[in-house]
Amino acid sequence: MSRLLIPAFAAIALACSACGPSAPPSGQTPGAAEPAPQPPASSPPAAPTPPSAASGTAVAYTCTDASTVSVAWGNDQARIEFADGRAISLPKAQSASKGGGEVFVGDTVSLQRDVDDIQLFDGEGPARRCSTQAPSE
């Protein structure tokens, strides 16, 4: 008779373990959902901008031909305001070479920036070299 009881108890024990609710892993309550994965905190920081060309702030330039222009620098664009009242926004070009400054290209106007100096190409004339104006007091 004892030979029959051991297999019977084993079968009952296995059946009971499948019947009732099991305890949740330690630290969790029954029915608690797993927390949703969090997105990354933020994207990598952008390259530093020279102090005289803070994003969105217009910077005044004086060119070698005595003309002046104002450029507002954005994340991926430059908005140029000419002394004659024209204004144009140029998208930033993806440069193939590193270390040559930033290039902004439009249909007839383009601009190359290297820290505080720019080269401005307007139409088919020669490029104008321009430097930031000293702040007036």
pLDDT of residue 44: 41
Show the tokens assigned to 34.
Answer: 């797993």
Q: Which positions of the chain have pLDDT values less than 50? A: 1-20, 42-53
pLDDT of residue 50: 42
pLDDT of residue 43: 43
Instruction: Give the residue carrying structure tokens 């080269």.
Output: 119
pTM for the full predicted model: 0.56
pLDDT of residue 1: 46
Where does the chain show beta strands of DSSP type E?
58-63, 68-73, 77-82, 87-91, 102-105, 109-114, 117-122, 128-132
pLDDT of residue 4: 43
Q: Which CATH number fits domain 55-132: 2.40.128, 1.10.3470, 3.30.420, 1.20.1070?
A: 2.40.128
pLDDT of residue 34: 54
